[in-house]
Amino acid sequence: MADSHAKMTRTTPMEVVASIVAGLLAPLLAIVLIVMLVLDIRGSQQPDTSGDAAQQAAIERIKPFATLAAVDPTAVVVEKSGQEVYDAACVACHGTGALAAPRFENKADWGSRLGQGYDILVKHAIEGIRNMPPRGGNADLTDTEVARAVAYMANSAGADFKAPEAATPEAAAPAAVVAAKPDPAAGKKIYQNVCAMCHAAGVAGAPKPGDKAAWADRIAQGYPTLYDHALNGIRGMPAKGGNPSLSETDLANAVGYLYTEAGGKL
């Protein structure tokens, strides 16, 4: 007892300092570790969605619904054909007659329904009716896609409906420009400033103006389709010729110039 007492009283100032520092450090270290742990947990719960890997993972998760929309924001959104939509979203019921759905190619099932007319059938397919769920339960389908599937099904059972080509809101705006007749003379200037750099020399296979052979099949697509391809891009042709600031009127005029140069009639 006396011995240990003697030892304690013999504690040097250095030892006192050391023990104070150690006494402070231990809780400090514990706090730092806890903070790091919390940060780490929060970090793993809130993934950095801006990272490439995180975005890739997100795209991977929504792939079945958004393949076209998410992979490349500049890509032209291609809507599915009636048959593609039918095969993906309607066949489950309409192929077998599940829930008394009118069956594909079955004239008796469709007969009286067809009498309602295409528009009403499309409306019912979009909004749902009785056991028919809205959009066949596929909320991601566009109105146009549903309408195409309706035409595909109804036509299989004797109707002669014409499915809409494309009625996306994006397409609606340029359609107004297309409707106003393009001015090829005005378009020539735009062409020289913006389009000639590829089209004059045939860079990357760009069809030269007036080269009727190179344009024949393209002209056959019709002016609105050509305009659409110039607006949205196609293969080596960048959207708006790579000039996002080009107005749609200017673009329409430039396409009009190329179109008429190659013998197309506006």
Residues binding ligand HEC (CB under 6 A): 85, 89-90, 92-94, 98-102, 113, 116, 121, 124-125, 129-133, 135-138, 141, 146, 149-150, 190, 194-195, 197-199, 203-207, 218, 221, 226, 229-230, 234-238, 240-242, 246, 251, 254-255, 258
Nearer to ligand HEC, 47 or 236 (CB): 236
Question: Please, what sign has the CA dihedral across residues 207, 209, 215, 218?
Answer: positive
Nearer to ligand HEC, 19 or 221 (CB): 221
Nearer to ligand HEC, 58 or 229 (CB): 229
Nearer to ligand HEC, 164 or 238 (CB): 238
Q: Which two tokens stand for residue 204?
A: 């990357």
Shortest Å, Cβ 174 to ligand HEC: 13
Shortest Å, Cβ 234 to ligand HEC: 5
Shortest Å, Cβ 57 to ligand HEC: 29
Nearer to ligand HEC, 58 or 109 (CB): 109
Alpha-helix runs per DSSP H in the chain? 2-9, 13-45, 52-71, 82-85, 91-94, 107-114, 118-127, 143-156, 169-179, 184-190, 196-199, 212-220, 223-232, 248-261
Nearer to ligand HEC, 14 or 213 (CB): 213
Measure the CA–CA gap between 266 and 264, rounded to whole angstroms.
6
Shortest Å, Cβ 153 to ligand HEC: 6
Measure the CA–CA gap between 174 and 248, rounded to whole angstroms.
7
List all residues 6 or more positions away from 237 whose beta carbon is below 8 Å from its beta carbon.
206, 229, 230
Shortest Å, Cβ 138 to ligand HEC: 6
129 DSSP β-pair partners = 132
Shortest Å, Cβ 122 to ligand HEC: 7
Q: Which pairs with CB-CB distance under 8 Å and at least 24 residues apart come from 238-244? A: 239/74, 241/194, 241/195, 241/198, 243/194
Residue 227 φ then ψ, to 5°: -60, -45
